[in-house]
Structures are given as structure tokens and as C-alpha cells.
Structure 1
Amino acid sequence: MASNRTNVTCQERLDVSEGSPITSAIMFSAGVLGNVVALILLEIRRRKQPASLFQVLVTSLVITDLLGTFSVSPLVLTAYLRKQSLLGMSENRVVCGHFGYAMTFFSLVTLAILLSMAVERWLSLGHPYFYEKRLSKRCGYITIALIYLLCALFCVTPFFGFGKYIQYCPGTWCFIHMNPSEAKHKVFNIIYATCLLVMIVCTVLCNASVIYHLSLMYRRRKAHRSSIRRQKGHKRQRSIAKEVEHLVLLGFMTIAFVICSLPLVIRLYFSGPEGKKNGLIPLLFVSVNPIIDPWVFIILSPPVPRLLWDKMCKTIRSKPTQEKVRSIHPVLYQKSPPGDSEGGSFLKVYTGIPGTAGS
């Protein structure tokens, strides 16, 4: 009897006869640790300065990842320890339904918040007047509430027959049926995959627009640098550096989610034959994203992006200055004679360039 169930599919399996809880335990620990550390860093930053709209969205993303980790990982560990599948842990499929709902819901919410972050950066740079007058932290809270509500309503439809949550091998995963025979379930899959794809494309386009506006800001600063006072120029440089910090963080989070979600989107659009690995690989990619996001935030939090930006600006500024010295004093810019231990002291003493030894 058990062998017949195993040979058909893993959809009705009641036990877990393969796999190890070690990998799941490591993923759970890494996810919880990363999200907790990220929340601590956000709280420290909030106490130093008032939270911005972008920080509100980042905080909601970290909390969402933490909730997603706690919603599914303990069930996987419990299934391994009890050697019971998610279906075997409850008679009315409640555990499997909860697991599938949580996987679908948090994947949509995570990408929707990433899109909100990208739109916020695009508006702050591309439409600064509208951003300053109309957007605030309150808009961020309203946006998060709407995202949660809409995603919750969409993901609950499989419980009413539109879409279907099933169990996957080795009995520790439940997710939407990726190769259904009924048309209504296929429509649900197409809508879900299309939502993911549209949000991915919009996020990438917003990030590209942010890069474009940042390049314009840098060119304007460079063109008007001679007519702007040093203090103002310093403030503008710091403003660009702050925008770059946000862009780097958002960009890497977007790349991580695209890599983790594209296998699922492809699998839903191009349904293949059911098998142990066909359904498991996209689910593994999706489950890794809540672990990656907080560690990306931790690694790319200031001063790491700021340090990279300052170094890049210093490198760009130093090259034109050296070329300018050569053009103004072509005769004096000569190699030091043999035995000159100070190397180039002749230039430093007589050029009179500010910042040199002779100034």
C-alpha cells in the first residue's frame, strides 16, 4: 500500500522516509539570525536619525522575511523529527494548506515591497517636488497594508477552488500545483507567475531610471563644481553618496529575488512532467530568498557603499588634477634627477599649486 502511494506521486504521502533536517536547520538559523541582526541595525539607525520612507519599506521587508521564515521552517523541522509528512501531521490538510499559503503569500509580498522601494527611489530622484509634497512615512505604512491585504486575498483563493495547494517530495513542502489538469488552476498559476514577472520587470526599470538620474546628478555637480562653494559641493556629494547607498542595496536585493524567483516563473509558464526534482528546485530557490535579503542588507549597510563611493570619487578627481598640472607646467613636470630622494620635490617647490609643498 505504501509503495503504491510512493510510486504515484508525493501528493498523498503521509511519511518522510528520505532527506535530512540538517540543511533545513541551517537555513532556518541563518534566516532568523540575519533578520534579527538587520532589525537591530535598523533600530540603531532610527535612534540616530528619524526614519525615512525608504527605511520604513526596508524594515517592513526584513519583518516580512522573518515572518516568512517562522511560518514554514519550523514545520519542515517538525516533519523531519516526527518522520511525518505535512499531510500526515493533520487529517484535514490544514498544515499543508498553511505551508502552501505562506510560501505563495510571502513570495508575492516580498517582491511587492521591493517594487515599492524601487518606485520610492525613482520618485525621489525623477520627481523630487512631487516626492517632497505628497509622499511621507504614512504613505509607506498605507502601501504595506495594501500589499498585505491584496496578497492575502489572492493567496486565499485556492481554498475556494481557484488554484490548488499540493504536497511535494519528500513530504516536507506544500505549494501551488505547478502542473494542474484543470483549467481554473492553470489560470491561477498564470496570474501568479504574471504578477511576479510584471513586478520584476517594473523593479528593474525603476532601478535603471534611478541609475540614469544619478548619472545626471553627478554630471551637473561636476559641471557646476567651479561655481559652487566648497560647502555646498560637499553637501551635494554626500546626497549623491546616500542615493548610491540606497541603489546598491536595492539593486542587490532585486538581483537576489530575480535569481530566486525566475525558476518558479519559468516552471509555471512551461509546465513539465511531475517529478521529485522538478517541483523541489524552484521551491528551494524561493525559500532561500528570505535568508539572502537580510544578509545583503547587513553587508551593504553603510559605511560599505559610502566607502566605495568616496574612493571612486577620489580616484576620478585625482586623475584630472594630475593632467591639469602637466598642461600648466609642462617644463617643470619632470622626473627627479638621480639621487633625489624626495622624488618630484622640484615640482612641489616651484609650481605653487595649492595643496603642494610650495603653496
Structure 2
Amino acid sequence: MSDTNINSTESPSNATNGTCGKVSVSVNIPIIFMTIGILSNSVALVILVKAYKRFRQKWRACFLLFASGLVFTDCLGHLINGAITIGVYAQEKDWKIIDPSGYLCPFLGTCMVFFGLSALFLGSVMAIERCLGITQPFLHATKMTNRCAKFILGSTWLFALCIALLPNLYFGEYTIQCTQTWCFIKTQNVTFGRESGILLLFSSLGLTALGISLLCNTLSAVALVRARVKNKPHRKGKSHHVEMLVQLMTIMCVSCICWGPFLVTVATIGSLIAGPKAINSLLLGVRMAAWNQILDPWVYILLRKAVLKKICKIIQLCMGKQDIQLHRWDCSSLQRTIKTAAMENSLTASKKQPQISRRTESQ
């Protein structure tokens, strides 16, 4: 979502009838937002790529791959949606000049739905991956390979693209919204059927992704707290788990705050129970959802291991503790887990090999 600067002045009656007043906003505003978004996501992407090259363990690489995919998606969304938005403002929102063929509006609507759903889906995929890695380390070590992670990442993008293409296949419709600054699924004068169905599908998928993230992150946090309380030996050295969980919890909170109002408003419009102020609420939701792509990369820039250690040290200093010995941020226990799982696989394979050879000789 890229229209972070809509400043609607229409009245509720005009919004209900699908007409809005002129919006006078400088083109410098979308340029500033697009620049900040691209720079933030680029910095976060560089950090994640370096970390991906440094940590080659499967449990670490999968999370970094999903996180890199999320940041790359946000960066590309800022670039494409922001460039179109700047063009709209530069031409004073005259779509006849901007889009004489009529293809730009469906393209912009498709991009907004695709990049929005991709960010929500990837957030839930990362939460599932971490929940599996914390609660089922053996299963995660054997099944969650780098190849599997790449397949999941590609499938997530493909699924989001299929949903975004539905209005172009006459399951709904992409229309210019009343402020004349962006395109989205038809939200004015919605009728029961395909028009309301695509709105409900979009909102339900987004809310489901947020719900999955909330559930999985909660389970992961409970597992880490229980391991800390019981002080299990095989649960020590989980600092990387804590780091990634802090990042996921922050991303989940940002997504809920930024996307929640917009998804709820879309669901209300799709349910045909929207009041006269629904369009105004939708515009406010668009502005809030746009901040999600700007705030996501700062989670990986600020909530890194080195930064968290410094914050912890500062807090302890403020509490009057002078002799501070922070625990080492290592992954020795997880390495042992991966090695144990690999040894079990090799033993299983060695046991199966004589059986296969005997069957071959008998045949």
C-alpha cells in the first residue's frame, strides 16, 4: 500500500455517493515517503543478506530467507506503487492523461493487493517457522531445509498474486477511488455477489494471517518462558530464538496496528453493513497500512542482537548494576540438535541400505 498522503475533505454524503472533493497535496509528500521506504528497506535487506551469508545453519537461514523476502517485497512495493502515485500527483490526478488506455488502474490495484497480502502472509509464515523451530527442533532440523524454505517463499508470492489477479478475471473490479489518487477493489455502491465476495476474501485472508501470527508467536513465547523457568539443559543458548521472536512480536504488533483498521473496514464494506462514514474510515486505514512497509525494515535494523545487548546493558546500568555479564549469544545447543538429527538420519539410512540390497539379491 503506498498512498500514505491522502487528505480527504469530502463529506459523508459525498463519500456514500462515491464522489469526493478535490485533494490538494504536494507531489513532494509521496516522493518523501517513497524515498524513506526504499532507503529503509534497502538498508534492512543488506543487513539480512549479510546475516544469511554468515549463518549457514538451516534453522537460522530459513528465517533470514523469509525475512529477506518480506523486506524485498516491501521495497518493491514502495518502488512500483510509489512511482505510480507520484505520477498521479504530478498530473494533478487527471487519470485521462495518466491512463488513456485504462490499464494503469487495474495494474495499480493488483500491485496494492499483492504487496499487501504478501507482507501479511510472509509475517505468518515466519511465525509458523519460528514456532516449529522452538517447539519441535528435531522436526524443524530435518524437514525445514533451504530448498523447502525457498519453495514456501515462492508459493506465498504465487498465492498472493492469484488473489490479486481475481478482479482482473471479472471476480470483482479495480476502480479509481473517490480521492482520485489510488486504485483498489471497488468499495463504492458494492452489490452482493462477486463485488462483496472479493472484499470479504481479501479481508478474511489478511485477518487470518494476523491471527496465525498471533497464535504462533504466543506459543513460541510460552515455550521459551517455560524453558527459562524450568532451566532445562537442552534449552540453554536460545538467544537467537529470543532475538528472532522479539522481531516477530514487533512485526506482528506493527501489522495489527497498521492493517487492522483497514482490513476491518474492508470487511464491513464487503458485508454490506458499512455506514455513511465507511469511505472516510477506509482512507484512514490506507494511510495506516502504508506505514507497515516503512516500519517493517526498522525492526531488523534496530532489533538486532548487538542492539538488543546494548539496550539490555543500558537498562541494567540504569537499575544500578555495575558488574554486568551478559550471556553469550551462541547457538551451540541448536547445533547439537541439528547434528543429532543428522546422525539419526544417517543411521536410519544405513539400516535401510542392507535391506534394499538383500531384496535386490533375492530378486
What TM bracket, shorter-length normalisation? 0.7 to 0.9
Matched, 1:295 2:298: yes
Q: Which residue of 2 aligns with 1:284?
A: 287
1: CA distance between counterparts of 2:179 and 2:79?
A: 20
* Letter matched to residue 163 of structure 2: F
Q: Which residue of 1 aligns with 2:37?
A: 31
1:10–1:167 contact (8 Å) kept in structure 2 = no
Q: Which residue of 1 aligns with 2:164?
A: 155
Q: Which residue of 2 aligns with 1:259?
A: 257
1: CA distance between counterparts of 2:205 and 2:254?
A: 17
CA displacement, residues 268-293 of structure 1 (integer Å, 9 cap, x when unaligned): 22223377634321211222211111
Residue correspondence of structure 1 range 99-114 to structure 2 within 5 A:
99-114=108-123
CA drift of 1:139 comes to 1.3
Which of these residues, 45, 49, 54, is aligned with residue 51 of structure 2?
Answer: 45
Q: Which residue of 1 aligns with 2:25?
A: 19
1: CA distance between counterparts of 2:217 and 2:142?
A: 22
Structure scoring higher RCO (CA < 8 A, sep ≥ 6) equals 2
Residue correspondence of structure 1 range 202-241 to structure 2 within 5 A:
202-221=212-231, 237=236, 239-241=237-239
Three-state SS of the structure 2 residue aligned to 1:52 is: helix
Q: Which residue of 2 aligns with 1:134?
A: 143
1:96–1:174 contact (8 Å) kept in structure 2 = yes
CA drift of 1:22 comes to 2.5
Identity %: 23
CA displacement, residues 310-336 of structure 1 (integer Å, 9 cap, x when unaligned): 7889999x8xxxxxxxxxxxxxxxxxx
Three-state SS of the structure 2 residue aligned to 1:270 is: helix
Residue correspondence of structure 1 range 167-206 to structure 2 within 5 A:
167-179=176-188, 180-206=190-216
When residues 220 and 276 of structure 1 are mapped into structure 2, their CA distance, relative to the original with a 3 A threshold, is closer
* Stretches of structure 1 lacking an aligned partner (at least 5 in a row): 1-6, 225-232, 319-359
When residues 8 and 86 of structure 1 are mapped into structure 2, their CA distance, relative to the original with a 3 A threshold, is same
CA drift of 1:178 comes to 2.6
* Letter matched to residue 43 of structure 1: V
Larger Rg: 1
CA drift of 1:75 comes to 0.9
* Letter matched to residue 55 of structure 2: Q
Matched, 1:250 2:248: yes
2: CA distance between counterparts of 1:39 and 1:133?
A: 27
2: CA distance between counterparts of 1:295 and 1:212?
A: 25
* Letter matched to residue 251 of structure 1: M
CA displacement, residues 37-91 of structure 1 (integer Å, 9 cap, x when unaligned): 1111123323433261100111000101011111200111111112234454112
CA drift of 1:243 comes to 0.9
Three-state SS of the structure 2 residue aligned to 1:156 is: helix
1: CA distance between counterparts of 2:198 and 2:145?
A: 35
CA displacement, residues 98-137 of structure 1 (integer Å, 9 cap, x when unaligned): 1111111111111111111000110011111111111111
1: CA distance between counterparts of 2:15 and 2:51?
A: 54
1:112–1:199 contact (8 Å) kept in structure 2 = yes
Three-state SS of the structure 2 residue aligned to 1:181 is: coil
CA drift of 1:307 comes to 4.0
CA displacement, residues 119-167 of structure 1 (integer Å, 9 cap, x when unaligned): 0110011111111111111111101111111111111111122122111
Three-state SS of the structure 2 residue aligned to 1:109 is: helix
Three-state SS of the structure 2 residue aligned to 1:166 is: strand
2:118–2:156 contact (8 Å) kept in structure 1 = yes
Which of these residues, 66, 82, 91, is aligned with residue 73 of structure 1?
Answer: 82
Three-state SS of the structure 2 residue aligned to 1:303 is: helix
2: CA distance between counterparts of 1:170 and 1:186?
A: 21
2:15–2:280 contact (8 Å) kept in structure 1 = no
Deviates more, 1:108-117 or 1:155-164: 155-164
When residues 94 and 159 of structure 1 are mapped into structure 2, their CA distance, relative to the original with a 3 A threshold, is same
Question: When the two structures are aligned, how many residues end up with a matched partner?
Answer: 299
2:15–2:178 contact (8 Å) kept in structure 1 = no
When residues 84 and 181 of structure 1 are mapped into structure 2, their CA distance, relative to the original with a 3 A threshold, is same
Deviates more, 1:177-186 or 1:101-110: 177-186
* Letter matched to residue 107 of structure 1: G
When residues 23 and 275 of structure 1 are mapped into structure 2, their CA distance, relative to the original with a 3 A threshold, is farther
Q: Which residue of 2 aligns with 1:331?
A: none
1:101–1:156 contact (8 Å) kept in structure 2 = yes
